[in-house]
Amino acid sequence: MQRVLVVGSPGSGKSMFAKKLSSIMDVPMVSLDALFWRSGWTPSEGADFDRRVTEATNAPHWVMEGNYLSHAGMLRRERADTVVWLDLPRMTCMIGVMIRTATGHGRVRPEMSPGCSERFDADFLHYVWTFCQKQRPQLARFVEGLRSDQILMRFTRRSEADRYLHDLSASESVH
């Protein structure tokens, strides 16, 4: 694994998984949220965001987390050798977002842009609630387009993803 995409619903644990994986692999982690959002939750212009994503995908090694499939999504899929899909149940993701919001309220997460502090956002909660119906089909089509030389890892429970990271870390420490 040299270039890994981590995709899934908000609250699925993409950022935490990507941080741990990038640490184990000793490669940079790229947060698409950090590339997209500007201070005060101001979205980037589409062309500017596409340029930053394209620059990030040009690096030889990365773990990139986030969806944004309409922004250089095909380029990221083409350049990735591995896609990790955290395909967790809606309630797991909702609880993850609510815990993150409650425990981090008013603070900026490390993978976010400065000035984007954690906040309660009813529209975002609705997005997470409807993710399985509205966004998941797009992710399914996205991963169906992988080449035969690319690896797809789909985890449907956090415990599966955690076990994978634990086992990978143990095997890396042996080398």
pLDDT class for 173, splitting at 50, 70, 90? low
Per residue in 62-84, pLDDT (tens digit) is 999 999 998 888 999 999 999 99
Is 173 inside a domain boundary? no
Per residue in 79-120, pLDDT (tens digit) is 999 999 999 999 999 999 999 889 888 888 888 888 878 888
Question: How many domains in the chain?
Answer: 1
User: What CATH code is carried by the domain that includes residue 106?
Assistant: 3.40.50.300
Closest Cα to residue 155, out of 2, 9, 1? Answer: 9
Is 51 inside a domain boundary? yes
- Do residues 6 and 17 make contact, with C-beta atoms less than 8 angstroms apart? yes
Is 114 inside a domain boundary? yes
Is 86 inside a domain boundary? yes
How far apart (Å, rounded) are the C-alpha atoms in residues 142 and 136? 10
Is 175 inside a domain boundary? no
Measured in residues, the chain has a length of 175
Phi/psi of residue 87, nearest 5 degrees: -100, 65
- Do residues 86 and 164 make contact, with C-beta atoms less than 8 angstroms apart? no
Containing structural domain, residue 134: 3-168
Q: How far does Cα 84 stand from its chain's mean position?
A: 9
Is 174 inside a domain boundary? no
| Confidence at residue 175, expressed as pLDDT on a 0 to 100 scale | 56
